[in-house]
Structure 1
Amino acid sequence: MSTTDPFILAWNSIRYHTSNMMDQADKHFESMAITIRQKANDTSWLPQLPHRKVPPPPPPSVTPVVGNNTEGFGVVWGWVKEHKWLAVGLVVAVVGGGVYVVKRKRQRGGRRKALKAGNGARKEVVVIHGQPHDPIVKSTAHDLERRGFIVYIAVSSHEDEQVVLAEGKTDIKPLQIDILDTLSARASVSRFSSYLKSPVIPFQGAPAHHLKFTALILIPDSNFPSGPIETIPLDHWSDTFNLKVIRTLAITQLFLPIVTEFKSRLLFVTPGIGYSLRLPFHAPEVAAVGALEGVIGCLRREVGAAGVQVGWIKVGTLDLNPTEKKGNKESATRADVLAWSPAVRSIYARGYVNSKAVGDGVKGSSLKEVNAAVVAGMLDRKVKKVMRVGSGSVAYDFIGTWAPEGAVGWMLGLRGGKRVTESVRGSSPGSAHSLESSVEWERVDK
């Protein structure tokens, strides 16, 4: 049908005018309604009718951002955009927790055994300086041998060499170094250095490999003379410093060229409780360990630039001799006191007995703790400056550092006595005996 048909034209005209008229009517009625409402609101004599509350407009709908993959990603992205700081906090917490877990896992699961050569033979070498019969030295040597290290124990006499050979371990060997003969000691260390640098053929037909010097471990003997300073002979002081300090320093000097060349570790293992508390009647031990602390601090700064790390292991109470009876220790302490003069006993006996009882009530830790600390000092990426092992090592170190002097003395049961004068000592033959019997032997429970 053509658009020029009169019927079509008439129909379109009627529809247009009708629609226009209806729109005009709607506008007119809407205008009248608005006018009436305004008049009603402005008139005071009309009662106020309750107004119907207009419902609040619906919240704007959030159009989800649809990603390229799934609709869920768009929802998550929209939430992140609305909660930026919360999202940042969650990310930081997750990343930080992950880093902490990974770090702890690496520390626990780090290398705790020696590396082997390509042919399967042992290649890492450790030198231990200490008395071969010392329990810590023996335990450390056997533990490192089980972990795949070649262990050398520095000895200075034929008797000590036989003690090492008696262990019956192929990879625990004596290293003869006579500290008293400087030329001989240097020659021994020079031969040892050549041995480390020479290729090694473990068995016929195997390819050669080179050794690696991993660590020098210095364990001074833990037996020290004890007693009041005025009763310790000077030759005991001299022996203590020669055996504990001078020998340790001499071995360190001899091996420092090799240590710096191989970037090996230096580990010192010393008693910790006596030095931490500045334990009375243990002046030789405190002085020797204090001297070694000074050497360790200077050495750490000197060789640190060469890539050598130095660690100090402070040992607390260890269970070295579980079969030893407490009565034997008390008898030895009593014998020490009775060997003093009556004047010295009168003022020092009680304090000496109490100081010797420090740590008696604490169960000693296993030597495995020392072994674990030694391995950590050898193989961890970064060596701790001070490692505390054994029962009481941390507690006594804290007390000795932060507790007031009077509190430490009270804890140790230090109470001064009255010195017996010469006139009293010579008054009667039985006075000395009565003074000896007056010494009280207290059991100090810790």
Structure 2
Amino acid sequence: MTDAQQLFDYARKQFNDIADDVERHFEQVAGQLREWMPADASFVRQQPPPKRLPPPTTLQIAQRWMLRHRALTAAAVAFLLTGSVGAFVFVKSRDQKRKRRARRSTSGARTDVVVIVGAVANPLTSALYLDLERRGFVVYVVANTHEDEHYVRSQSRIDLLPLNLDLVDPFAAQDQLARFRGLLEREHFAFDGAEPHRLNFTGLVLIPDTQATPARVDEISSEEWSDALNAKVLNTIATTQLFLPTVTEHKAKVLLLTPSVTPALKLPMHAVENTVYGALEGFTSSLAAELKQDGVAVSHFKLGNIDIPSVTAKQRREGASKPMLKATPLRKLHDSVFDALVTKRPRRTLHVGRGSLAYDIIGSWMPPMVIGWMMGAAKRPTVVVEEVHEEEMQGSQGSLTWEKIDQEA
């Protein structure tokens, strides 16, 4: 063995001894530390538990299912859409074909009574009370003059009767209404030997004449304002006040029918019509709030463009141009009035006629400048005064057309 080999072995032995001494020292230190430190040392940072995701909601589950089954989802949506449209069409067609008839007693006699208040010769009013009589109601039309009474009797309908009401003399009007209440309270016999029955006051239908000749405010005299407010507003309010005790006693419906296209837009040259409409609308709102406590329903019919056959035929004879948009048939109004009379809780406001709802929304939400621009209010209108006969005024009160409004505006 050479000297170099001996030196190398000696150095390796010394290195191993030093390494063993260091390892023993570290083991001794580690053992002392383990004995000195407790097992649950507070300064030892513990790892937080893993976060758990919340369970998916029903909407998330449905969205995931639709994403996985896109074809089936599209088919289901298409089926629902076509089914909804089909069901809507079916319900509408069945509702139109449904026969609307008033109730009768066991002996076949009519029992439901309706009172109509309005211009007797007005085409809209006359069409309404004739239709209600055909549907089985006993219809009383308030007649303030002998001419109105004669006009009602000339219709030759057994259950269409005039109801005289003198608004000038309150005491006479009270006596006339007392006879009407007595008619409702006593028993009636359809024929000899039939079971007795009583009449039921079903509804009070108010059809005031709100239209007036277009004119500027400075051209309307105080007498014209007084006549318009007395005839169109005060007479309606006074008649309603006279019938209120009977209406409350029998829980009858109160219906107000007014044209609403022109008042909704608040057009110029229509100050009288807008004022009358606003007064009647405010009166109806207060009346509905008061009668609600007594269980009486009040409905306001806002009428648009309605096709009245008598008015349309007269316009054709006079060579009037055919309107661009077809008006709503008169039967729609008759069905709506019948449903409001027989429904337990009719709606507070009903829109009947083309343009009624659309113009109501436009007049409520659009600024006046936009409405004026739409109706051409920037140009000062030229009013042509023509001689208008009484029968022509009566014939024009039942229908409002968009073309007429555009011309006047």
TM-score category, normalised to shorter length: 0.5 to 0.7
- CA–CA distance in structure 1, aligned partners of residues 224 and 277 of structure 2: 16
Q: Which moved more, 1:287-296 or 1:312-321?
A: 312-321
2:287 is aligned with 1:299: yes
2:73: which partner in 1? none
Are residues 118 and 361 of structure 1, via their aligned partners in 2, closer, same or farther at CA, if it must alter by over 3 Å?
same
Are residues 328 and 240 of structure 1, via their aligned partners in 2, closer, same or farther at CA, if it must alter by over 3 Å?
farther
> 1:326 Cα deviation (Å)?
8.7
> 1:381 Cα deviation (Å)?
2.6
Q: Decide which of 148, 159, 172 is 1:171's aligned counterpart.
A: 159
2:112: which partner in 1? 124
- CA–CA distance in structure 1, aligned partners of residues 290 and 170 of structure 2: 23
- CA–CA distance in structure 2, aligned partners of residues 242 and 445 of structure 1: 25
> 1:234 Cα deviation (Å)?
1.7
- CA–CA distance in structure 2, aligned partners of residues 323 and 231 of structure 1: 33
Structure 1 alignment gaps of length 5 or more: 1-82, 331-356, 420-442
1:190: which partner in 2? 178
Contact 1:177 1:185 in 2 (8 A): yes
Which has the higher relative contact order, 1 or 2, with Cα contacts under 8 A spaced 6 or more apart? 2
2:357 is aligned with 1:369: no
* 1:383-419 CA-partner distances (Å, limit 9, x unpaired): 1111111121111111111122211001110125599
2:213: which partner in 1? 225
2:355: which partner in 1? 392
Contact 1:313 1:373 in 2 (8 A): no
Residue 323 of structure 1 aligns with an amino acid whose one-letter code is A
Aligned positions of 1:258-273 closer than 5 A: 258-273=246-261
Q: Decide which of 100, 105, 113 is 1:112's aligned counterpart.
A: 100
1:213: which partner in 2? 201
Identity %: 35
Contact 1:121 1:202 in 2 (8 A): yes
2:364: which partner in 1? 401
Residue 406 of structure 1 aligns with an amino acid whose one-letter code is M
> 1:369 Cα deviation (Å)?
2.0
Are residues 417 and 286 of structure 1, via their aligned partners in 2, closer, same or farther at CA, if it must alter by over 3 Å?
closer
Q: Decide which of 230, 237, 262 is 1:249's aligned counterpart.
A: 237
- CA–CA distance in structure 2, aligned partners of residues 325 and 257 of structure 1: 42
3-state DSSP of counterpart to 2:306: coil
Are residues 309 and 418 of structure 1, via their aligned partners in 2, closer, same or farther at CA, if it must alter by over 3 Å?
closer
Q: Decide which of 125, 145, 150 is 1:157's aligned counterpart.
A: 145
> 1:153 Cα deviation (Å)?
0.1
> 1:111 Cα deviation (Å)?
7.8
Residue 192 of structure 2 aligns with an amino acid whose one-letter code is Q
Which portions of structure 1, spanning 4 or more consecutive aligned residues, are displaced by more than 3 angstroms?
107-111, 323-330, 359-363, 416-419, 443-446
Q: Decide which of 308, 312, 318 is 1:322's aligned counterpart.
A: 312
CA RMSD of aligned residues (A): 3.3
Are residues 329 and 227 of structure 1, via their aligned partners in 2, closer, same or farther at CA, if it must alter by over 3 Å?
farther
- CA–CA distance in structure 2, aligned partners of residues 223 and 294 of structure 1: 17
Are residues 326 and 397 of structure 1, via their aligned partners in 2, closer, same or farther at CA, if it must alter by over 3 Å?
farther
* 1:257-294 CA-partner distances (Å, limit 9, x unpaired): 00000000000001111111012111111111111111
3-state DSSP of counterpart to 1:323: helix
Contact 1:122 1:148 in 2 (8 A): yes
Q: Decide which of 110, 133, 137 is 1:145's aligned counterpart.
A: 133
Residue 198 of structure 1 aligns with an amino acid whose one-letter code is R
Contact 2:133 2:160 in 1 (8 A): yes
* 1:351-373 CA-partner distances (Å, limit 9, x unpaired): xxxxxx9x964433222222122
Are residues 200 and 418 of structure 1, via their aligned partners in 2, closer, same or farther at CA, if it must alter by over 3 Å?
closer
- CA–CA distance in structure 1, aligned partners of residues 99 and 200 of structure 2: 16
- CA–CA distance in structure 1, aligned partners of residues 408 and 239 of structure 2: 40
- CA–CA distance in structure 2, aligned partners of residues 326 and 282 of structure 1: 26
Are residues 375 and 415 of structure 1, via their aligned partners in 2, closer, same or farther at CA, if it must alter by over 3 Å?
same
Aligned positions of 1:418-433 closer than 5 A: none
Are residues 413 and 151 of structure 1, via their aligned partners in 2, closer, same or farther at CA, if it must alter by over 3 Å?
same
> 1:239 Cα deviation (Å)?
1.3
1:284: which partner in 2? 272
Residue 342 of structure 2 aligns with an amino acid whose one-letter code is L
> 1:445 Cα deviation (Å)?
12
- CA–CA distance in structure 2, aligned partners of residues 241 and 396 of structure 1: 25
Q: Which moved more, 1:408-417 or 1:291-300?
A: 408-417
- CA–CA distance in structure 2, aligned partners of residues 306 and 388 of structure 1: 25
3-state DSSP of counterpart to 2:360: helix
Residue 228 of structure 1 aligns with an amino acid whose one-letter code is R
* 1:305-339 CA-partner distances (Å, limit 9, x unpaired): 11100000011122331134599799xxxxxxxxx
3-state DSSP of counterpart to 2:196: coil
Contact 1:112 1:379 in 2 (8 A): no
State how many pairs are aligned.
Answer: 301
Structure 2 alignment gaps of length 5 or more: 1-61, 66-75, 383-405
Residue 364 of structure 1 aligns with an amino acid whose one-letter code is A
- CA–CA distance in structure 1, aligned partners of residues 226 and 283 of structure 2: 18
Contact 2:381 2:408 in 1 (8 A): no
1:351: which partner in 2? none
- CA–CA distance in structure 1, aligned partners of residues 323 and 372 of structure 2: 17
